[in-house]
Amino acid sequence: MPLTPTRHRTAVTVLATALLVPLSACGSNGAKSVAGGAKAAPPVSAASKANLTVLADASLADVFKTVGAAYEKDNPGIKIIFSFAGSQELAAQVNQGASMDALVTADTQTMGGLKGDTDTPTIIATDRLVIATAEGNPAEVENLDDLADPALKVVLASPDVPAGRYSLQLLDAQNIDVTPVSLEPDVRAVLNKLELGEADAGLVYKSDAETATAAVDAIEIADVQNAITKYPAAAIKDAENASAAAAFVKWLRSPAALKILQDAGFQKP
């Protein structure tokens, strides 16, 4: 029997209601219902998942292991892959177009030379130089003037990297003439020479000396003589994970990150 207009409208209403029933099993946020009436968590968005490649100065190698672990714990979708080297080597990698998401150098000069490749940098920490000696200080080094002794085997970082440049500036400012037995690619290599007994003394960052306390001794340098270094961090422009990189750089100024850095011997920005 053909449907009357009234019956036709009623049939359409019933059919529409039936079609809508399955949709009511979904929450307004799109999460599907699961057994027991609980709602499953919505899927993690692509923006919250990323493998971040972060290039950082070698002097950050130890502390950034802790930094990375803390960030990944609070951001489960993020995996941070660090690559450590002297700041000048990192700058060369940026200039060569290496794939990366963020950069942290040990001086503002190196970062400033890359302003066309990075977002606006932010200072995350500062550090200072100390005189590092072989364990027990067998050469009995007491101050900067002692480094001029020609019988003393002094090792410095290369002037191509921030630690070496700061070391030379410090020595020149005090009119101390030092002839190093070697110039190393970064402060970690300077410490290695001391740990192996191949040098008597060297200039390194305080934070690096503190991580190697079992193998070297450190002698403080007065503030009026010292060189203070700043650590700028920046996301790379047009990086594959630009938003995630910017979030990580911002987090490096958070109380949690600053505490990790300061516990490792770095000073406030």
Looking at residue 213, its pLDDT comes to 66
For residues 166 and 114, the answer to whether their CB atoms sit within 8 Å is no
> β-strands 201-205, 154-157: how paired?
parallel
Confidence (pLDDT) at 170:
94
What pLDDT is recorded for position 199?
95
What pLDDT, on a 0 to 100 scale, did the predictor assign at position 168? 95
Task: Specify the CATH number for 127-219; select among 3.40.190.10, 3.40.50.12280, 3.40.50.720, 2.40.30.20.
Answer: 3.40.190.10
pLDDT of residue 269: 92
Give every residue of the chain whose pLDDT is below 50, as ranges.
Answer: 1-47
Domain ranges, ordered by start, for the chain: 48-126+230-263, 127-219
d(CA 268, CA 2): 84
Q: Are strands 216-219 and 228-235 parallel, antiparallel or unpaired?
A: unpaired
Query: Do the two domains 48-126+230-263 and 127-219 of this chain adopt the same fold?
Result: yes
Domain 48-126+230-263 has CATH 2.40.50.180: no
Query: What are 84-113's pLDDT values in tens digits?
Result: 998 999 999 999 999 999 999 999 999 999
Contact between residue 221 and residue 130 where contact means Cβ atoms under 8 Å apart: yes
Distances (CA, A) of 172 to 165, 167, 176: 11, 9, 6
- Give how far the C-alpha of residue 137 lies from the chain's centroid of Cα atoms, to the nearest Å: 32
